[in-house]
Structure formats: C-alpha cells, structure tokens
Amino acid sequence: MASSTEWEEYLSPATHNESESEEEDESSKSTPETEETRNSEQEQTKKQEIVKSDQVIGRKRSASEMEDGPRPGAAPSGYQGASRTPDVQYTVESEPCEFTVICPVTPKRWRTLGEDADVSLFQDFPLRLSQLSIDFALIPGSKWDQLTRFKNARFKETHEVTYTAGQFVYVNRHMPPPPAPPENASSAEKLKYDKENLWVGVVSEFKALDRETVYVRLFWLYWPEELPMGRQPYHGRKELVMSNQVDIIEAQALTWGAEVSYWDESDDSNKTELGERYWRQTYDINKGRTNPRALSKLRKFCVCGGYDNPERDMYQCREADCLMWNHEDCLITVMEQRAWEQFKKGTLTHETPVSGENEASRKNRSKMIRQAIKRKSKAEKPWVGKLEGKISPVKKLGEDEYIHSATLWQLVPQGKHKTKGPFEPVVWKMQMDCLRCHKPLN
C-alpha cells in the first residue's frame, strides 16, 4: 500500500578524486525537460537496473506494510527542521537486511568460512581513526560487490534532508518509531527517549541495488549503558563511545542527522563547547568485546588519578610549575577532612591562608590529603551528616570564568558545646588549595 506522501531519494555516485567530482557536478546539470523525461521512464520501469546517471529518484513503501500498521511520524529530540504533520506516515519496509556482517574477521575465522562461501573481505575504519582499522566480511559478497556506490543520499517529504559519508546519524530501533517527547519535555526526558528508541552511527558509504533498495554501511557509536563492561563513573549523561563495529542497514531506518562533537581532552583552554552528543573514547572490538582494554585510555587528572566527568567541575591550579586540574569532589573531601579534625577538638572556625610552611608541615598535609582521597564511601567519612563542604561561584570575571568560594557547613554542635533549642547551622570560610602544590585556588 503506497503512502499518500512519498519520499524521494536522490543518490550521488561516490568519487575517488576531485576531478571526478567536478565532472559529476557538470553532468548533473540537466534541463527540466531532460529530468522530466527521465523521471517518466523510471516510473514505467520501476524494477529495472539502477540508472547509470548522477541522480536516482525513487519511492519507499508505507508504514502500513510494517508490523501493526502506520503511526504518526515523529522526529528525534535532535531534530531541528520542520515538524512532521500527523497525517504523514513513515515510509519503511519490513524486510530484514539481506546482508550478514561478520566483524571482526580473524585469520582463523576467515579460514572457517570456506573457500566456496560467497564472502567478501574488507578493511576500513571510522572517520580518520586509523587505529580502529578492522577487517570484516559481508555475505553474500558477490551481491554487495555488484551494488553501485554513492557518496550521499537526499530524501524529500515535508522537508528535505541529505545524508553524506562521514555524517553522524540517528537510526530507529523500532519501526514505526514511537511518538517523540513534547516540545516542552525536559532534556532528561529527551535523552531518555533517544537512548530507548535511537541508535547512533557514522555513515561510511551508501550502496543501491535499484531505486527502492538502498543500503547504508556504518560504524556504531555506543551509549555507555550498551557497552559489555557497562557505564563507567567518568561517562557523562550525553556521552557516546566511538566503535569500529561495522553494520549494514536499509536507508529508511535513518531518522535524522545527529549532532555529535569530539571532545579533545588535551585542550586545557576550558573553551571547548560540546554538542548535543559528544564522544572522546573509542571501543576497539579487535581487542575483545568484553576486554576492558578495548576501551581507549583517557587522560588522568587530580592527585587521585581519576578521569574527567563533564557533569562534575574541576579547578586548574594557575601556578606555572603545577597547572594540575583538581576534582571538585576531591577538594571538598579534603576540606571536610581538615574541618573534621578541628571539629572533634571543638576548635573549628574560619580558615586563614597558611604561610611559611616548612617541609615537615607540607609532608603532613600531603599525607592527610592522601588519606582523605581514599575515603570513597559515606561509611568511610565519619563527618557525614555533621559537616558539609561546598564550592560556589561568587564573582564572574569573564565568560565561563569565576572566583569561587569554599565554605564548610557545620550541621551539629561541635565538641562538647551544647545549645538551647534547635541548632542553627554555622557556615565557616575555608581555604581551597591545590591538592598537589598547596597554593590557593580561590
């Protein structure tokens, strides 16, 4: 059953150098009369071999040919184009992809496939990440080899969208996809929808059998929850992990282009703007799917040797011979540890800058910091419920640059002190010093 609103699909052949690309651009400039004639011929020979021209125009089937019938279409949360109207149906097919992808292919696995098997072996890597180079096989290989390769695909319905090789895309997990969250949904609700209903991939190439059958070869990005080793403490809520897992899908499963940025952890400018989604870590399945070493190493920060979680602040020491980034959680833990020692003695008060430290006092302070950092759980922090450290911005110096204040909230009477009636919390000003060089951060 054909949809009342049909999708048009424009495919441009892949090129291998700029000269070929220029020739194609010239040949694609056809007159309206020529284009109309070609369209007419294609409508009469819908099942004919793919037309050897710069563009191929096609149609997709309606969602009524899928599962329980059509549903109103809805764009993902990352979609910023014109909204789809309720009477527009998704045009998707129910047939599964005809190709089997074996990834990775080891020499031993390749031998077991047999010499007579219809298998083609390939090697590729996502984007320019040559360290993720991987061997993979496609079955049936002869059919894939016979397909025509294209550099981009353009779809038209109520709006127009073009997909190109190297582009990040959302892929529907369900057909037809469930309605998207309302426009006033929170970012957490939109993220939840995306994780439950969309995959994310980066396009490697398009191939077509005819006007109705278009395939996309891509590399998957993983939501951290999808990793065999699970989400790690340093993963941000909107973070993805780039992989070299190859797959082939039909083009109609594409939902919309995804805004995915690369996070360069070596950039200390603190000016990096992350997109709607971002990635910094890679997952190399050549090393084994469940092998922790399959995840690329990340930069370590702070005296704890931990990683950067974008949802948790860090503060960089400005001393030229230090420049260490300090985790906010570590700074607060050390601050609370210092206050706790004074609290037990009944001498907790405002802190003043420490001057004239000798070698012995510096060693004692470093030892106290190491002990405090080791206290990971609440059970190891005896001050929980009694003392609470906080770091807050108090003055803005420039864009994303503030002076911060460290305070310690005393929630119960200290030492042997007693109060009449309810105890009012007391706020003490604290020093916020670099955990390595002990120079002031605030």
The answer to whether the beta carbons of residues 60 and 91 sit under 8 Å apart is yes
pLDDT tops 50 at residue 125 = yes
CA distance 283 to 227: 9
Of 124 and 115, which is predicted with more confidence?
124
Q: Which two tokens stand for residue 309?
A: 């979680």
Per-residue pLDDT, averaged over 37-53, amounts to: 40
pLDDT band at 360 (very low <50, low <70, confident <90, very high): low
Strand ordering across the sheet containing 387-398: 387-398, 401-410, 426-430
pLDDT tops 50 at residue 45 = no
The greatest distance separating any two alpha carbons of the chain, rounded to the nearest whole angstrom, comes to 96
Spell out where 140-271 has E strands.
148-156, 160-164, 168-172, 198-210, 213-222, 239-250, 254-257, 260-262
pLDDT in the model for residue 397: 77
CA distance 208 to 148: 5
User: Could you give phi then psi for residue 339, rounded to 5 degrees?
Assistant: -65, -35
The answer to whether the beta carbons of residues 62 and 89 sit under 8 Å apart is yes
For strand 198-210 and strand 213-222, is the pairing parallel, antiparallel, or unpaired? antiparallel
pLDDT in the model for residue 10: 44
Share of the chain above pLDDT 70, in %: 72
Looking at every residue in the chain, the average pLDDT score rounds to 78
pLDDT tops 90 at residue 188 = yes
Per-residue pLDDT, averaged over 331-352, amounts to: 92
Per-residue pLDDT, averaged over 307-312, amounts to: 92
Q: Which of 14-23, 61-70, 148-157 has the lowest mean pLDDT?
A: 61-70
Q: Class of 8-294 per CATH?
A: mainly beta
Of 369 and 241, which is predicted with more confidence?
241
pLDDT in the model for residue 356: 53
Of 220 and 362, which is predicted with more confidence?
220
Most confident of 26-30, 204-208, 212-216: 204-208
- Considering only CA atoms, which of 47, 42, 74, 72 is closest in space to residue 57? 42
pLDDT tops 70 at residue 3 = no
Residues 6+ apart with CB under 8 A from 439: 317, 318, 319, 322, 433
CATH 2.30.30.490 placement within the chain: 8-294
pLDDT band at 122 (very low <50, low <70, confident <90, very high): very high
User: Would you call 99 helix, strand, or coil by DSSP?
Assistant: coil
Per-residue pLDDT, averaged over 82-95, amounts to: 33
Say what angle helices 328-345 and 359-373 make with each other, to 10 degrees: 110
Of 8 and 375, which is predicted with more confidence?
375
pLDDT in the model for residue 244: 98
Beta-bridge partners for 387: 410
Per-residue pLDDT, averaged over 67-95, amounts to: 33
Tell me the per-residue pLDDT of 224-271, one tens digit each, with 9 for 90 and over.
999 999 999 999 999 999 999 999 999 989 999 999 999 999 998 877
Beta-bridge partners for 219: 202, 246
CA distance 393 to 252: 48
Share of the chain above pLDDT 90, in %: 52
pLDDT tops 50 at residue 93 = no
Per-residue pLDDT, averaged over 317-333, amounts to: 95
User: Would you call 215 helix, strand, or coil by DSSP?
Assistant: strand
DSSP 104: S
pLDDT in the model for residue 361: 58
pLDDT tops 80 at residue 171 = yes
pLDDT tops 50 at residue 425 = yes
Per-residue pLDDT, averaged over 282-308, amounts to: 96
Of 362 and 23, which is predicted with more confidence?
362
pLDDT tops 90 at residue 185 = yes
The answer to whether the beta carbons of residues 219 and 202 sit under 8 Å apart is yes
Tell me the per-residue pLDDT of 189-208, one tens digit each, with 9 for 90 and over.
999 999 999 999 999 999 99
CA distance 90 to 96: 17
pLDDT in the model for residue 20: 39
Burial-class residue 265 by CB neighbours within 10 Å (0-12, 13-18, 19+).
Answer: middle
Give the CA angle between residues 83, 87, 89 to the nearest 5°.
85
The answer to whether the beta carbons of residues 226 and 239 sit under 8 Å apart is no
pLDDT tops 70 at residue 75 = no
pLDDT band at 40 (very low <50, low <70, confident <90, very high): very low
Most confident of 1-10, 69-78, 367-376: 367-376
pLDDT in the model for residue 120: 93
pLDDT tops 80 at residue 30 = no
CA distance 307 to 380: 22
